[in-house]
Amino acid sequence: MKKLLFASHTPSDNTRKLSQHCLAKMHAYSETVEIYHKPPLEITSDDGLTCDGLVIATTENIGYMAGLTKDMFDRCYNDWLYHTDGLPVAFYIRAGLDGTATANTLGRFAHALRWRMVRPPLILKGDYITDFEEQVAELGGGFAAGLEAGIF
């Protein structure tokens, strides 16, 4: 079984809905892919070291990823460096206005850790619309399908 780690920061009803939609599509592949869903505060270095793929969901706050998402990197970065090379990753960002700065920062972290971004970060910005739910479902389902098929 492949291990898919889903780290999702969900400080609001909307972000919790997004997380559930993403997770539901991932679970369509749970016969071959084990899904581990945790808030970033509960992610340990071992979670990253033992997974086969990582999806990170965060909000953008004050022009940066959420503090709790950053805290995950603060605690785990040194343990992950050189030991997670090539890890397939995908990101989605819920942003009220923008999201670009967070996408760029996550891209820099991925580059520094030598992770493989399987797609550009998905930014869900502006007023909340239900279409966001389909977009995150497509991201989560596509990621799990890629792991299952050994594409990533």
Ligand X SMILES: Cc1cc2nc3c(=O)[nH]c(=O)nc-3n(C[C@H](O)[C@H](O)[C@H](O)COP(=O)(O)O)c2cc1C
Q: Which of 21, 26, 94, 105 binds ligand X (CB under 6 A)?
A: 94
Write down the least CB distance from residue 50 to ligand X, Å: 29
Residue 81 is classified by DSSP as T
Cβ distance to ligand X smaller for residue 92 or 115? 92
The single-letter code of the amino acid at 132 is: F
Rounded Cα gap, residues 2 and 44, in angstroms: 18
- Tokens matching residue 152: 């990533």
H helix intervals, the chain: 13-26, 45-50, 67-80, 100-112, 131-149
Cβ distance to ligand X smaller for residue 58 or 84? 58
Q: Is 128 helix (H, G, I), strand (E, B) or coil?
A: coil
Site for ligand X in 53-92 (CB under 6 A): 59-63
Write down the least CB distance from residue 8 to ligand X, Å: 12
Cβ distance to ligand X smaller for residue 77 or 128? 128
Write down the least CB distance from residue 9 to ligand X, Å: 9
Dihedrals phi, psi of 62, to nearest 5 degrees: 50, 50
Total number of residues binding ligand X (CB under 6 A)? 16
Q: Which of 42, 83, 96, 116 binds ligand X (CB under 6 A)?
A: 96
Write down the least CB distance from residue 53 to ligand X, Å: 24
Rounded Cα gap, residues 78 and 125, in angstroms: 31
Cβ atoms of 121 and 106 within 8 Å: the answer is yes
Residue 97 within binding range of ligand X, rule CB under 6 A: yes
Residue ranges that bind ligand X, judged by CB under 6 A: 12, 14-15, 59-63, 94-99, 125, 128
